[in-house]
Structure 1
């Protein structure tokens, strides 16, 4: 196992004034054994950053170090990493055992050690009874576990996950997230996990990197990112539904945007803000009430059992004073 350091990492395509820079000086110090999630919308550069760590993309500037070694000029095979992709990349003509063992076989690891490593990984992933089958006989979740097993047997210093759950349905995604958490607790290998799904990021990460247009907007624990977002981008991207951001909030501050989470806004009999209700969604144990304040969209989350307004009504809501967030209107940065 090893730490992972990203030091002012830059990626650009092309040369000269017409070069297209897509990664803008990323810095991150990842501790030995940490599970880090890189999250952001499509096209923000998160997979490009992962591929630079893997050695699949050339680094245009800065340094990447795995442990004490700067790996900028090392081939992927020399970096001591293992990667799990969105598509499982399994050989259809091989059994699951052979798929998991293939990299070790190429590396000329002795047969007895290959069997021991594969059997151990299969036991961790609950695949022991499936090793003699072929990938086509497995479900999507089982195939992804085989792909993870192939990475585990390598015993790398760093695991790299490139949106590995994207091809699974919602139930399997939730189940596989739990398996990945258990796997990390058992193996303790430094891991970098890329996703566009903020739920995956919040549930898996020990710390998370929130990216936007090739820049790191925030690097912190899920709690820090959720409760103290560094910018309006983070506030609007993390959270479901996202934070309400109001430019014209009653009693607002000039040049500032007010942020308030839907769950931190309460229905009140008097005072507060006038809230015009547009629609209500029932989500089991809670309701989401959508409407507007001063012409700006606002969402209020209400727990089950509370009285809730009907579409078309005008009621009053009050944000909790200790839960307000303020951002600079010009830059979007947290005040």
Structure 2
């Protein structure tokens, strides 16, 4: 087990005036045994950052340490890491056992130790019955567990996961998330996990790094990120449906954006007047979409209520009241949260 320290990490492609900077000064301390998720939309730089930790991408500026060692100039094989990829990267002609054991054989680990490590990893991942099968005989979820088993047997200081669940269907994704949580509890190995899926981020992370266009917008626990978003980007990206971000909210301070999550708006006899445009039934809950009545503005407001509430008629006017202690205010120009936050965005 080891900590990971990122100091002012910058990545540029190209040289001189033609260089394009894609990572803008990332600073983070990841503790021994911590599970950190790097989350953000496609193209935000999250996989590039992970690949720099792995040694698969060069660092333009800054310093990466794993444990007590600065690893900027070390090859991937010298960093004591194991990586799990999106595409599994299994050898099709080898059995499950041979795939899991291959790296250890190359490292000239004794055969008895190899068998012991593979058997232990197979037991943890519940793939013992499949050790003699070829990858083509396995489901997608089973192949992903083999890929994780291949990483486990290495006994590394750090696990790096690059969108490992992207190829699985929704049911398997949920099941594999539980397996990864169980795996981390049992092994306690420092882990960096990259995903664009906010559900994966919220359910897996002990802390999460929310990235946007190469900038770390916020680094904090899932609760901090959801309840106290540091920027309008974080507020809109984390949450489904996203936080309502309103320029025309009544009684809002000048030059601000008012944020309120859909579940923190209550239908009431008076309050904000909205014209109902659509209603979505989502099993145990309902989403109501309304626009300001009486020409206040053209913004769409989303309200989340329990299924037991009577659905409002399309075209009708309803009133909602925001819960006073759940209202957020952001600067209209910078998008930064007004007031203090436990996780300050990196660009401040």
In structure 2, the residue corresponding to 1:48 is in which secondary structure? helix
Note the alpha carbon deviations across 1:144-186, whole angstroms, 9 max, x for none.
0000000000000000000000000000000000000000000
Who is 1:223 aligned against?
223
What is the SS of the residue equivalent to 2:266? strand
2:327 corresponds in structure 1 to 324
CA RMSD, Structure 1 to Structure 2 (Å): 0.6
Give yes or no for the alignment of 1:311 onto 2:310.
no
Deviates further, 3-12 or 289-298: 289-298
Alpha-carbon separation, structure 2, partners of 1:309 and 1:237: 27
The count of aligned residue pairs is: 334
Structure 1 residue 18, shift from structure 2 partner = 1.5
TM-score under structure 1 length normalisation: 0.99
**Aligned match of 1:278:** 277
Q: Deviations over 1:309-330 (max 9, x none)?
A: 1221111111111100000001
Match of 2:344 in 1: none
1:163 aligns with 2:166: no
- The answer as to whether partners of 1:82 and 1:158 remain within 8 angstroms in 2 is yes
> How does 1:62-211 map onto structure 2 within 5 Å?
62-211=62-211
TM-score by length of 2: 0.95
Question: Paired residue for 1:46?
Answer: 46
Deviation, 1:307, is: 2.0
Q: 2:303 aligns with which of 300, 322, 326?
A: 300
> C-alpha displacement at 1:291, in angstroms?
1.6
Q: Unpaired runs of 5+ in structure 1?
A: none
Query: Which segments of structure 1 move beyond 4 Å, counting only runs of 4 or more?
Result: none
Between stretches 246-255 and 96-105, larger displacement belongs to 246-255
**Is 1:57 paired with 2:67?**
no
CA contact (8 A) 2:161 2:193 kept: yes
Q: Which runs of 5+ in 2 are unaligned?
A: 339-348
Distance 2:165 2:265 in 1: 33
Does 24-33 or 306-315 show the bigger shift? 306-315
The answer to whether the Cα contact below 8 Å between 1:41 and 1:196 also exists between their aligned partners in 2 is: yes
Take 1:104 and 1:172, find their aligned partners in 2: how far apart are those partners?
29
Post-superposition shift, 1:292? 1.3
Matched-pair contact (CA < 8 Å) for 1:302–1:308: no
Deviations 1:69-109 (A, max 9, x none): 00000000000000000000000000000000000000000
Q: Find out whether 1:289 has 2:265 as its counterpart.
A: no
CA contact (8 A) 2:281 2:307 kept: no
